[in-house]
Chains A and B, each alone.
Chain A
Amino acid sequence: MIQIRQIHKSYHTEALSLHVLKGISLEIEAGEYVSIMGASGSGKSTLLNILGILDEYDAGEYYLNGTLIKNLNERQAALYRNEMIGFVFQSFNLINFKNALENVALPLYYKKVSRKKRNIIALEHLDKMGLKDWAHHMPNELSGGQKQRVAIARALISNPKIILADEPTGALDSKTTVEVMEVLTALNREGITTIIVTHEPAVAESTRRVIHLKDGMIEYETRESNGIHVPSRHAQIEMI
């Protein structure tokens, strides 16, 4: 599903140039459940943005579902994002003057689905998230967990192959964190490739593969299938 080879990315400001990704190669199969961990500044969000075609990379290759994603114009990028990828963000990124239903339905507006039809589909997705009764509430009337579930419903409405979640639980308490992770895990079980950027070991533990980044390179990775998949312990070791 995702293949990246020797991806490099630098940010240039007037004062300094920052080499954020220093040659990352990675392969993620369809249906995998992956988390990306690392200290802040390790380049994990940058990597996610590149995977989500929200950002460009300087060197290397990125194949998404067999297509080389390089130097796309904005229209093509928008098309791939709309077709392939659903985003979940730490700060939810709901549009605050639209109610839950309208927020969920928005991706279909850009797919030119009629208003009536997309509202029906949006309501189904909200129902799946257990938020049917909250469909006509504005984002500021919803709790953090509800907002994130609305955001997940919005990410899912265009039937993406991949869910990219950037610190999806970063703004949530531990109870709602568990709720949201259950939702994401359930989605992965339905076959959607799910990639989560997080710094919380507990979140990483629910995924089946954990990629650790350090200073723009992959330090190591663990897989549940290999039996040494206990990120919390590694995290403790790191802290020591």
Chain B
Amino acid sequence: MTDQLHEIWGTLKKNRLRTTLTGLSVSWGIFILIVLLGAGNGLKNGVMQNFSSRAVNRVNLWPGTTSMPFQGLSSDRQLYFTESEMDFIRDEVEESGLVTARVNSNQTISYGQEYGSYQVRGVMPNYFDIEKLIVAPGDGRFINPLDIKEKNKIIVLDKRVSDLLFKDESPLGKHVKVGQIMFQVVGINSKLEQWGGPNTYIPFTTAQAIFNPGGKFYQITFTVDGLVTAEENERFDESLRSLMARRLRYHPDDQQALWVYNAQSEYVETMKIFDGITFLVTIIGILTLIAGIVGVSNIMLVSVKERTREIGIRKAIGATPASILKTIILESIIITTVFGYIGLMMGIGLTELVHFFMEQAAGAGAASNEPQMSVFTNPTVDVGYALFATLVLIIAGVVAGYLPARRAVKVKPIEAMRQE
């Protein structure tokens, strides 16, 4: 085997320029494949990251205004939720997981001389997991079930709010004035919101009692489990509408009575698009690679033609057809794999370099306290692709070498040696 490689190395070295130019077409093919896959992955990772900053399987419900009369009730009725709807979703909707209500009010929050106007959200403990808030170690806690039960006057501040109000002081255990009422700070959320300004959170029951005595509220968010396909999600949304129609008493066909935002169906749709993009990118990459393979095959054919005399001599002194076949195909495999790996390394190098600079830029972005919104993240490919590429390259080598090798085997020694 090493002997054979030695033999092949000799011939490749002899045609250094031709070998290099041929090989570069394969390098280029693999390079394009990797860069395209990297770009596709970058786009996918970027969008995925935006998705995953909140639970992807969450559903938001907002009551709307009816647009159709129903059971003697007029249209243009403003619908609203009460706590019983929340219980209903938790207990009666099979697919529901974590459920939270949300009630908003804008309040002035002050501590000592410092104050600001912020949105105060009355939420349930589950809100923490649904929105994937971050309470760093040492930053206290989020709202817990006891707070809900006791209607505790506690508040969780956004990091930016606490920095503004408390400066270098630790806010934990201190009291802030929300509107006219004192709340004790129990935790700090350090997740940067993607949309809207910094928020503060208080127990839902407290918010209802203090800021919303009517008890009506306008948003329920919950997670759903076991829905995979877009069709399943669509069907779920439909059945949710008709379930809620019976409870809130609106016409089941009234599309404006209840607004449903199902993040998961959007997620599924988006993933479909990315599967499409990946597929397309792979096809383009492979076509580019095929161009490279055809190039190698072509050059091998020229090489065999040029070396007809040499092949004839080899046959005259005892080379078997199998050994000639093996030599040419191995030669082709060596060209494709060696240059393929060069392309692979360059492609991976480029994607990693882009990744590196993007990390740097992201680091700078984080320092400026801007919310993280990116559509392009980590444009690299898996190690799995390298293995896949190796296999592709070897197959490519065999395919590219086969025809020329057949040609070489058919060389007649006497005719070959006659030509000068």
Contacts and interface: CB of A to CB of B under 8 A. Distances in A.
Interface of A: 49, 52, 54-55, 74-75, 78-79, 81-83, 87, 89, 91, 93-95, 97-98, 102, 106-107, 109-111, 114-115, 154, 158
Nearest to B420: A91
Nearest to A111: B318
Contacts of B316: 52, 54, 81, 87, 93
A21 to B, nearest CB: 14
A231 B359 CA distance: 91
A83 B318 CA distance: 8
B94 interface: no
Contact of A87 (B6, B317, B319, B321): B317
A158 B318 contact: yes
A75 B318 contact: no
B295 interface: no
B417 interface: yes
B11 A97 contact: yes
Given A106-B317, A110-B319, A115 B417 contact: no
Interface of B: 3, 6-7, 10-11, 14, 309-310, 312-323, 409, 412-414, 417, 420
10 contacts: A54-B316, A54-B413, A54-B414, A74-B320, A78-B321, A89-B417, A93-B312, A93-B313, A110-B314, A114-B3
B320 A109 contact: no
- Tell me whether chain B's interface is mostly helix, strand or loop, or mixed: helix
Given A81-B317, A107-B318, 10 more contacts: A54-B412, A74-B409, A75-B320, A81-B316, A82-B318, A91-B420, A93-B309, A97-B14, A107-B317, A111-B318
Contact of B414 (A49, A74, A91, A94): A49
A75 B321 contact: yes
Contacts of A94: 313
Contacts of A109: 3, 7
A226 B309 CA distance: 42
B317 A154 contact: yes
Nearest to A106: B317
A109 B317 CA distance: 10
Given A78-B318, A154-B317, A110 B10 contact: no
B318 A81 contact: yes
Nearest to A84: B318
Contacts of A79: 318, 320
A109 B10 CA distance: 14
Which of B7, B317, B322, B412 has the most chain A CB atoms inside 10 A of its CB?
A: B317
Contact of A82 (B317, B413, B417): B317
Contact of B10 (A98, A111, A154): A98
A194 B316 CA distance: 17
Nearest to B319: A110
Contacts of B318: 78-79, 81-83, 107, 110-111, 158
Contacts of B6: 115
Nearest to A81: B318
A107 B417 CA distance: 16
Q: Which 6 A-B pairs have the closest CB atoms?
A: A82-B318, A110-B318, A97-B14, A78-B320, A107-B317, A74-B321
A78 B413 CA distance: 11
Contact of A91 (B3, B14, B319, B417): B417
Nearest to A89: B417
Contacts of A81: 315-318
Given A54-B413, A91-B417, A93-B313, A75 B3 contact: no
Contact of A78 (B7, B315, B412, B420): B315
Nearest to B2: A115
Contacts of B3: 109, 114-115
B317 A110 contact: yes
A93 B417 contact: yes
A174 to B, nearest CB: 23
Contacts of B314: 95, 106, 110
A109 B313 CA distance: 13
A94 B6 CA distance: 18
Contacts of B310: 95
Nearest to B307: A95
Contact of A110 (B312, B323, B420): B323
A94 B321 CA distance: 20
A83 B314 CA distance: 14
Nearest to B4: A109
Contacts of A115: 3, 6
A87 B313 CA distance: 10
A79 to B, nearest CB: 7
B308 to A, nearest CB: 12
Contacts of A154: 317
B44 to A, nearest CB: 50
Contacts of B322: 75
A83 B320 CA distance: 12
Contacts of B413: 54
